[in-house]
């Protein structure tokens, strides 16, 4: 029990004064205006090593009207989303531009957390942009984001084991079986763990079979012959004896490492594996070539699922006009080229691929571009997180896909689309 005026009261007073001072400092740090009085446009974006130069260039381009600050989000995709979602649910006015994974754009638009782009800015964002990435940024006919970068998986194969790359899924498995019979390196390495990567693979297979799990406007799941065909293809890969024992547990980096240490003849993975291989295993990299993702039928080219990031403007931003302008600058053709060369993220503007400087950084750019021209998106629905969760659960492990799986999938995905029931 402290008496009034005792030492403990004084200490407490000093403590609360210190707390107040700290709060003032913290608030000043959060405020829109910094020392020089320039308004700040806050860009919430994943860590990207050389984004700083782009941000600086766009601040310079603003000519003293505003300054862009990159607020670095966590590295993990889930953590990025959760941080933005929590701030938006609390109507945080300090966020202006948001870096959204292609699969979150519909969700944020559905929750009315991001603004539809006005006609002039939208026209600018659409100009020269590839159709697939653009589709991922569109919700109910309106553009809600500007595609900043895209991504697409390729087939990586060992030219010392096969002379020409397999064109179809079955051809790939048969070639692997033949290599296996000869006692040579034969494995097909890709991501089969119960997570987003498995959904990406399945979505590619469904699209390659000519289907679409959730066609526009994204309210009903369609389980047709193409979905069955995709499920069959996935099961065949998992049960043919050509995958690694850790297939049902492998994510991107584990797959990359296994192939990079010489464990496979084929790898289905994102382009980041190539620079990593050139650095980590140069002799192997010299033997590795790339090709378009295998098709399901000879008559129909594969349609590959795209990844990537879109830039959106928060509904709670106090400076939406400047935010749209800044977002357009951050994803301009010149800056996309910079990011592609320095950070390895494939551009969404088609003309950038033709740039001579891209040839060195992107030897596989023609294949990437060919896949991007008729790429497939994952279901564009606000409930995508739910859909992805139940899809991954229903398809895992791929070796146990059976006749009931497709039926199960229909009910589970529909419930997820309606955001009914409980997420595991």
Q: Which of residues 245-274 bind other proteins (CB under 8 A)?
A: 246, 249
State residue 290 phi and psi, 5-degree precision. Answer: -130, 160
Rounded to whole angstroms, the Cα distance separating 155 from 208 reads: 14
Residue 107 Cβ vs other proteins, minimum distance, rounded to whole Å = 6
For residues 341-359, one letter each, b for 16 or more C-beta atoms within 10 angstroms of the residue's C-beta and e for the rest, the string is beebbbbbbeebbebeebe
State which residue, 298 or 420, has the beta carbon closest to other proteins. Answer: 420
Nearest to 207 by CA among 310, 129, 312, 297: 297
- Residue pair 382/107 in contact (Cβ under 8 Å)? The answer is yes
Q: Which residue has the tokens 């205006």?
A: 33
Rounded to whole angstroms, the Cα distance separating 227 from 202 reads: 9
Does 107 participate in binding other proteins (rule CB under 8 A)?
yes
The contact mask relative to other proteins for 327-366 (x = CB under 8 A, - = no) is ----------------------------------------
Residue 110 Cβ vs other proteins, minimum distance, rounded to whole Å = 5
Rounded to whole angstroms, the Cα distance separating 397 from 100 reads: 29
Residue 114 Cβ vs other proteins, minimum distance, rounded to whole Å = 13
Number of helices (H), then strands (E), belonging to the chain: the values are: 18, 11
Contact stretch for other proteins (CB under 8 A) within 76-84, 162-170, 279-287, 327-335 = 76-84
Contact stretch for other proteins (CB under 8 A) within 59-67, 107-115, 172-180, 358-366 = 107-115
* Number of residues engaging other proteins in binding (CB under 8 A): 23
Element (H, E) at 154: strand 154-158
State which residue, 211 or 382, has the beta carbon closest to other proteins. Answer: 382
Element (H, E) at 415: helix 403-417
Q: Which of residues 23-42 bind other proteins (CB under 8 A)?
A: none
State which residue, 111 or 328, has the beta carbon closest to other proteins. Answer: 111
Residue 175 Cβ vs other proteins, minimum distance, rounded to whole Å = 29
The contact mask relative to other proteins for 171-210 (x = CB under 8 A, - = no) is -----------------------x----------------
Q: Could you give the strand order of the β-sheet that contains 154-158, starting from the edge strand earlier in sequence? A: 188-189, 266-269, 154-158, 288-291
The string of DSSP letters for 338-352 reads HHHHHH-PPBSBGGG
State which residue, 19 or 354, has the beta carbon closest to other proteins. Answer: 19
Instruction: Report the residue from 286, 334, 359, 423 that binds other proteins according to the rule CB under 8 A.
Output: 423
Residue 144 Cβ vs other proteins, minimum distance, rounded to whole Å = 14
Rounded to whole angstroms, the Cα distance separating 212 from 226 reads: 8
Residue 314 Cβ vs other proteins, minimum distance, rounded to whole Å = 15
Residue 279 Cβ vs other proteins, minimum distance, rounded to whole Å = 19
Q: Which of residues 370-389 bind other proteins (CB under 8 A)?
A: 382-383, 385-386
State which residue, 68 or 380, has the beta carbon closest to other proteins. Answer: 380
Residue 384 Cβ vs other proteins, minimum distance, rounded to whole Å = 9
Q: How far is CA 340 from the centre of its chain?
A: 15
Angstrom distances, CA of residue 49 to CA of 53, 130, 168, 345, 372? 9, 25, 37, 11, 25
State which residue, 138 or 208, has the beta carbon closest to other proteins. Answer: 138
Q: Which of residues 110-169 bind other proteins (CB under 8 A)?
A: 110-112
Which residues does residue 42 pair with via DSSP β-bridges, in sequence order? 69
Nearest to 187 by CA among 145, 146, 242, 107: 242
Q: Which residues contact 160 (CB under 8 A, 6 or more apart)?
A: 287
Residue 195 Cβ vs other proteins, minimum distance, rounded to whole Å = 8
The contact mask relative to other proteins for 84-103 (x = CB under 8 A, - = no) is -xx--x--------------
Residue 249 Cβ vs other proteins, minimum distance, rounded to whole Å = 5
Name the residues that contact other proteins, by CB under 8 A.
78, 81-82, 85-86, 89, 107, 110-112, 194, 246, 249, 382-383, 385-386, 419-424
């Amino acid at each position: 029990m402290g008496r009034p005026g005792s030492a403990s009261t004084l200490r407490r007073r000093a403590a609360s004064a210190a707390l107040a001072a700290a709060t003032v400092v913290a608030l000043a740090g959060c405020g829109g205006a910094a020392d020089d009085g320039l308004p700040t446009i806050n860009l919430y974006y994943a860590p990207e090593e050389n984004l700083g130069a782009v941000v600086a260039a766009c601040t310079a381009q603003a000519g003293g009207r505003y300054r862009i600050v990159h607020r670095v989000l966590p590295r993990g995709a889930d953590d990025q989303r959760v941080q933005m979602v929590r701030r938006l649910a609390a109507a945080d006015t300090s966020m202006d531009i948001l870096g959204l994974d292609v699969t979150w754009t519909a969700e944020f638009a559905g929750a009315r957390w991001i603004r539809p782009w006005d006609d002039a800015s939208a026209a600018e964002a659409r100009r020269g942009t590839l159709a697939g990435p653009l589709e991922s940024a569109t919700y109910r006919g309106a553009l809600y984001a500007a595609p900043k970068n895209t991504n697409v998986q390729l087939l990586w194969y060992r030219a010392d084991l096969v002379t020409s790359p397999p064109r179809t899924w079955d051809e790939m498995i048969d070639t692997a079986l033949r290599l296996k019979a000869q006692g040579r390196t034969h494995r097909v390495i890709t991501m089969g763990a119960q997570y987003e990567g498995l959904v990406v693979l399945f979505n590619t297979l469904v699209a390659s079979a000519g289907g679409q799990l959730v066609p526009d406007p994204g309210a009903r799941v369609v389980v047709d012959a193409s979905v069955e065909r995709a499920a069959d293809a996935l099961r065949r890969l998992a049960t043919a004896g050509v995958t690694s024992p850790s297939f049902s547990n492998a994510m991107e980096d584990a797959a990359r490492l296994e192939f990079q240490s010489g464990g496979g003849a084929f790898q289905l993975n994102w382009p980041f594996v190539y620079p990593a291989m050139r650095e980590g295993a140069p002799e192997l990299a010299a033997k590795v070539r790339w090709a378009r993702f295998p098709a399901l039928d000879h008559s129909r080219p594969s349609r590959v699922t795209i990844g990537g990031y879109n830039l959106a403007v928060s509904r709670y931003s106090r400076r939406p006009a400047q935010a749209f302008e800044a977002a357009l600058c951050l994803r301009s053709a010149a800056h996309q080229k910079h990011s592609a060369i320095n950070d390895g993220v494939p551009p969404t503007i088609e003309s950038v691929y033709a740039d001579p400087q891209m040839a060195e950084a992107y030897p596989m750019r023609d294949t990437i571009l060919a896949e991007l021209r008729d790429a497939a998106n994952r279901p564009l629905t606000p409930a995508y997180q739910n859909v992805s969760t139940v899809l991954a659960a229903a398809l895992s492990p791929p070796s146990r896909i059976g006749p009931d799986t497709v039926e199960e999938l229909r009910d589970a995905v529909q419930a997820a689309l309606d955001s009914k029931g409980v997420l595991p």
